[in-house]
Structure 1
Amino acid sequence: MTEILLSEGEKCYLIHGVNDNFRIDGRSCWDRREIDLETNLLASCVGSAQIRSVNCSVLVGIKMSLVPPDPGRPGKGKVEFYADVSANADPLFEGRGGSAMVGEIVSFFEDSFKDCSIYDCLMVVEGKSVWCLSIDILILEVGSKASLYDLCSLAVKAALHETRLPKVYVNPDTMEIEIPDDPFDVISLDVSQVPLFVTVTRIGNNYIIDPTQEEEASSISSLLFSINDCGTLLHSKKLGFGSLHSEPIKELIPKISQVSLELHNFIKSKVSTN
């Protein structure tokens, strides 16, 4: 994510190309670059996934623990998000250079997961014990910031899809919890309502997805949406300092929902179904 400096002529060339629905790498405004997904990479985690796309790479690992539920949510489990960025991802992130960015990522995940049905899957004994999933997001390589949010959400959902929790048996007399030693006596999670993120970036008077670094340097600002697999918008956030008008954005919502459904289907096609 090293800062790209473009001349006014280069920016004008990019903007005119987007106006004609033809970008500098040959894509149309709503085309995404190829995405590579690998799962179950970390033996120490109950679920893991790595996403790569051009010059972006994100690794997610999930660990579990049994904890008491929150007093106000006795029948729901917990999900905690953590994020970090490798100093090797970009010179800008040496020391604490990436702390603001990872803070934004964690905050958006927390807001987007508030009403997710996955919390219901994590209840063990109501009011006494629930599963807590610790989701660690490690950013290994950064291209454009707008693309990074989307890839983080893909890696998180793929890792959750592959997560297997041990079956828990509760003694009805003592209410003591027993966890079997059989590594195959496990359950999977219902991730159908886990959202994915779609970022649209304004170039001139038009919007694109998955911008290159040069396109991001030419943009006014971006809009980040979290969307479930029904195409419902759950949460949104503005990135950047440029102004945006509401009417063009309303017209984009059906297209944004369609893009999200394509991403949800991509995850379904790539992860295991057992």
Structure 2
Amino acid sequence: MVGLSLGEKNFIKGGIAQDIRTDGRKRLTYRPIFVETGVIPQASGSARVKMGATDVIASVKGRGGEELSVELSTALQRCLLGGKSGAGAGIDLSSLSIVEGKVCWDIYIDGLVVSSDGNLLDALGAAVKAALSNTAIPKVEVTANASSEEQPEVDVSDEEFLQFDTTGVPVIITLTKVGSHYIVDATPEEESQMSSAVSISVNSQGRICGLTKRGGAGLDPSIILDMISVAKHVSDQLFNKLDSEIAAAEACDDE
């Protein structure tokens, strides 16, 4: 919990109301974002993302299995995988299928918080997207008996890999409500003054993939709809910056 004086609290709230935050940003502006990929050689894919002083790492491991499984925190799971049925999922789990209903890839995603300076969920979501773009899945050959009732035999290549398709992987936009205004990429001091926060995952086509809320104050449905509209608008800014950083990071990896 951040300890602030009454004057500091009023300064934060007043600045947000005037669209001038304590660090000089506007309400819907992010701190600088930096991405580094391939930071964990033992993983199938990995990335490190820094948003201001918030520093997180995501790693992806893949192995063959009989069930689809993605290990994420509850909030990340809601934002990236949609509902329990998988409807609206930002990550296309069907792309992990090797033989439908029999064999698939299990993808395990681990997140590590190196340094926390607010807006952790958005940073972790960005790191997951960057790590998945860095993920290579071994090419698999299935033997002829795969269509029979027997468990199919598969040959996993050690030399040929397929790039994980991240086209539909969304970004997470957390809108933090302070007073009557929303802000993005909140600092811990700003988060301490919030009444509620809504995290919305949006893909590059502007489709909502998931939503989760925290904070005790209830929100009118009209406010939720307005927040979704704002998140769609802000997502363009985040996608452009994140895609640019990922491309630059992967270019460095190839050198």
* TM-score, normalised with respect to structure 2: 0.86
**Shift of residue 231, structure 1, vs aligned partner:** 1.3
Q: Partners in 2 of 1:222 and 1:167 — Cα distance?
A: 41
* Residues 1:67 and 2:65 aligned together: yes
Cα 1:104–1:126 change in 2 (3 A) is closer
Query: Offset of 1:104 from its aligned partner?
Result: 4.4
CA distance in 1, matches of 2:178, 2:81: 29
SS state of the match for residue 176, structure 2? strand
Residue aligned with 1:32, SS = coil
Distance 2:179 2:101 in 1: 53
Structure 2 distance, partners of 1:16, 1:158, is 36
Determine if the alignment matches structure 1 residue 52 to structure 2 residue 24.
no
Change (3 A) 1:126 1:243: closer
CA shift in 2, pair 1:25/1:181, >3 Å: closer
Q: Aligned equivalents of 2:112 and 2:142: distance in 1?
A: 35
Distance 1:193 1:250 in 2: 22
Please give the alpha-carbon distance, in whole angstroms, between the structure 1 residues aligned to 2:242 and 2:69. 20
Contact kept in structure 2, 1:79 and 1:135, CA below 8 Å: no
- How far apart in 1 are the matches of 2:12 and 2:53? 20
Q: Secondary structure at the match of 2:20?
A: coil
CA distance 1:45–1:214, change in 2 (3 Å): same
1:170 is aligned, of 127, 130, 142, to 142
Of 15-24 and 250-259, more deviation after overlay is shown by 250-259
Q: Which amino acid aligns with 1:8?
A: L
Cα deviation, residue 14, structure 1: 1.7
Residue among 196, 214, 223 paired with 2:189: 214
Would you say the 8 A contact 2:66–2:103 is kept in 1? yes
Q: CA shift at 1:65, angstroms?
A: 0.8
Aligned pairs (5 A) from 1:217-256: 217-256=192-231
What is the CA–CA distance in structure 1 between the aligned matches of 2:186 and 2:154, rounded to whole Å?
49
Counterpart Cα distance in 1 of 2:157 and 2:2: 54
1:61 counterpart letter in structure 2: S
What letter is aligned with 2:157? P
Residue 98 of structure 2 aligns to a residue whose secondary structure is strand
Residues 203, 12 of structure 1: alpha-carbon distance in 2 compared, 3 angstrom cutoff = same
Deviates more, 1:39-48 or 1:228-237: 228-237
Shift of 1:177: 1.0
Distance change >3 Å, CA 135–CA 176, structure 1 → 2:
same
Map of 1:5 onto structure 2: 3
Aligned to 2:149: none
Does residue 156 of structure 1 match 2:128?
yes
- After superposition, give the CA deviation of every residue in 1:84-130 in whole Å (9 maximum; x if it has no partner): xxxxxxxxxxxxxxxxxx55445654546924352121111122211
Q: Which residue of 2 aligns with 1:80?
A: 70
Distance 1:237 1:173 in 2: 44
Q: How does 1:200-211 map to 2 (within 5 A)?
A: 200-211=175-186
Q: Give distance in 2, aligned partners of 1:112 and 1:268.
A: 26
Paired amino acid for 2:98: V
Q: Show structure 1 runs of 5+ residues with no match.
A: 70-77, 83-101
Cα distance in 2 for residues equivalent to 1:124 and 1:196: 27
Q: Is the 8 A contact 2:176 2:194 kept in 1?
A: yes
CA shift in 2, pair 1:127/1:106, >3 Å: closer
